[in-house]
Amino acid sequence: GVVEVVVVGSCNTDLITYTARFPNPGETIHGHSFSIGFGGKGANQAVCAARLGASTAMIGKVGNDTFGNDTTKNFQNNNINIDHLGMEDGTSTGTAVITVDESGQNSIVIVNGANSLLSKSDVSAAEPMIARAKILVCQLEVEPEVSIAAMKLARQHNVMTLFNPAPARANLPPDAWTLCDVFCPNEAEAEMFAGMPVKAKEDAEKASLFFLDKGCKIVIITLGDKGAVYVTQENRTPVHVPCRVTKVVDTTGAGDAFAGALAYYMACHPGLAIGQVIRRSCEIARMSVQHSGTQNSYPVRQQIPDELFL
């Protein structure tokens, strides 16, 4: 059948250490547990959208190694189309070495490996699939020019684009803004791209207007446990959507759960008001922070209240 959500982006293996606190430079400390999970911002968003029920495809690259084989199987287990998932010799599957402290905060070092080899021609090869999709989703964990090329292609076919500019990096091509229908950074990314502090809700409101003026049609800035702020070209008054409070075990991948949920709702519930789309996506992200791990913590359909699907 037709793929509704196409994700162009990264696949990582997450190597996660849980510890009371972060080590200082030069210091060795004891963590209390370790786990290996599937991650990478692109893959996470694809898995979240697929678990919610979107027919989803992943365009990406893994290495010809154990992690790459396992990642491929993981996509299959999550019903994700991998017609355009490449496996490359001579490089390693992307990795993320993650430390999670007692409060559920994380610090991450990623090594791109095969993700860096995803090219514009890999994206062009998927043109027929992209052309028929409802939404195309990109991030910044592959070469930015590849994300830009994918959004250009989607635009040519009137396919909606969702751009999650994570992780933040300097020197984004200027056409990035005009190519995205939905621009969805977190506070840190918004701060970097807007060049203004984004700490409080009021800052996010200001930054959201900055991005709107750059040409994005809808801007959604996520604020962690404070929810999100959004603004649209049709209604230039920023709106704050709060998030219900929750116990926090591990916030790793919560932003990706949010972006994946956004993609699902926009593709599969096109009549839903944007405020509702955001409220529901916050709920999905909230469910993910209650459990350890990245994709491991994303809910499956049966665990999600029916009201989020009405």
Which residues form the catalytic set?
256
Please state, in angstroms and rounded to a whole number, the distance separating the CA atoms of residues 213 and 219: 10
Binding region for Na ion (CB under 5 A) out of 99-107, 179-187, 206-214, 242-250 = 242-250
Is residue 202 within 8 Å of residue 183, measured between CB atoms? no
Is residue 158 within 8 Å of residue 152, measured between CB atoms? no
Binding region for ligand RIB (CB under 6 A) out of 114-122, 177-185, 234-242, 249-257 = 249-257
Give the distance, in angstroms, between the CA of residue 104 and the centroid of all CA atoms in the same chain: 19
**Which one, 203 or 250, has the nearer CB to Na ion?**
250
H helices of the chain, in order, are 41-52, 66-77, 120-125, 127-132, 144-156, 175-179, 187-194, 201-214, 254-268, 274-289
* Joined tokens for residue 163: 């751009």
According to the binding rule CB under 6 A, does residue 256 interact with ligand RIB? yes
How many CA atoms are closer than 13 Å to the CA of 302, on its beta-carbon side? Answer: 0
Task: Supply the minimum distance, in Å, between the C-beta of residue 262 and Na ion.
Answer: 17
According to the binding rule CB under 6 A, does residue 164 interact with ligand RIB? no
According to the binding rule CB under 5 A, does residue 288 interact with Na ion? yes
Residue whose C-alpha is closest to residue 60's, from 116, 128, 4: 116
Phi-psi region of 7 (alpha: psi -120 to 50; beta: other; left: phi over 0): beta
Binding region for ligand RIB (CB under 6 A) out of 21-29, 116-124, 247-255, 302-310 = 247-255
Q: Helix, strand, or coil here: 203?
A: helix
Q: Regarding beta strands 106-111 and 5-8, do their DSSP bridges make them parallel or antiparallel, or are they unpaired?
A: unpaired
Instruction: Single out the residue of 81, 252, 288, 296 in contact with ligand RIB (rule: CB under 6 A).
Output: 252
Give the residue nearest to Na ion (CB): 297
Instruction: Single out the residue of 7, 9, 39, 263 in contact with ligand RIB (rule: CB under 6 A).
Output: 39
**Which one, 41 or 279, has the nearer CB to ligand RIB?**
41
According to the binding rule CB under 6 A, does residue 63 interact with ligand RIB? no
Which residues of the shown chain bind Na ion in the complex (CB under 5 A)?
A: 250, 288, 297
Which residues of the shown chain bind ligand RIB in the complex (CB under 6 A)?
A: 12, 14, 39-41, 44, 96, 108, 110, 141, 252-253, 255-256, 294
